[in-house]
Amino acid sequence: MSGKKKIVRDYSEMDTADLRKMIQKDSGASKQAAKAAFKELEKREGDMGYSVTLILGGRKREPDTMDLPKSKPTEKERKKSSDDAKAKKLMDSLEKRAAKEIREERTKLGLANNKKKTAMARGGMAYGKEHMYVAGGSVTDNVGLRALKKASPEAYNKITGK
């Protein structure tokens, strides 16, 4: 069952002026209601001079429907939903407790995750500014460094760490 009940109206008893209002686009009538009103007007007055498709644009797509009222839950349904809520709450608390125990065990074993970012190391001064680099970086040997090695092996060793 879809849960919606179709509303059937008898347009043959409606006034012609009311039917004309229903086929106006700003009337708020659904496509189904506007189409039925148009057909009733055609029965009464004959050819309207335009087709039904002209009056249907920009309207609600759904036919006239209304939700059926929901019945109250039975005692059995209320008890089941209550039990489900209790079970969910219990599972959540057990999961939290287990996660806490795992964290504590990892901390005891020294396996705690280090959430700290790698710190920047001091790289030295250049052009009056202090420069930083990530620890663990490496210096590639290029033409300039090779020339420095010839000129000052001590400076070269300081830079490359060799």
Q: How far apart are CA 22 and CA 29, in angstroms?
A: 6
Token pair of 124 as six digits: 């030295």
- 1 pLDDT band (50/70/90 cuts)? very low
Model pLDDT, residue 126: 66
Cα(38)–Cα(56) distance, integer angstroms:
10
The two tokens of residue 149 are 């090695």
Percent of the chain predicted with pLDDT > 90: 9
Give the 3-state DSSP-derived string for 14-32, with helices as H, strands as E and coil as C: CCHHHHHHHCCHHHCCCHH
- Sequence spans of domains, the chain: 4-67, 71-113, 120-160
pTM of the model: 0.34
Burial call 30-61: b when 16+ CB within 10 Å, e when fewer: bbbbbbbbbebbeeeeeeeeeeeeebbeebee
Number of H helices, E strands in the chain: 6, 4
Model confidence pLDDT, tens digit, residues 116-140: 666 666 667 666 777 776 655 556 6
Whether 148 has a pLDDT exceeding 60, the answer reads yes
pLDDT at 38: 87
- Cα–Cα distance for residue pair 78/76, rounded to 1 Å: 6
Nearest-angstrom CA–CA distance, 46 and 39:
10
**Tens digits of residue pLDDT in 39-95:** 888 888 888 777 777 777 766 555 555 555 567 778 888 888 888 888 999 999 999
Q: In 42-153, which ranges are E strands?
A: 65-67, 120-126, 129-134
- Token pair, residue 45, equals 């007055």
What is the distance between the alpha carbons of residues 3 and 39, in angstroms, rounded to a whole number?
A: 29
- 96 pLDDT higher than 90: yes
Q: What is the pLDDT of residues 3-36, one digit of tens each?
A: 555 565 778 888 888 888 888 877 777 788 888 8
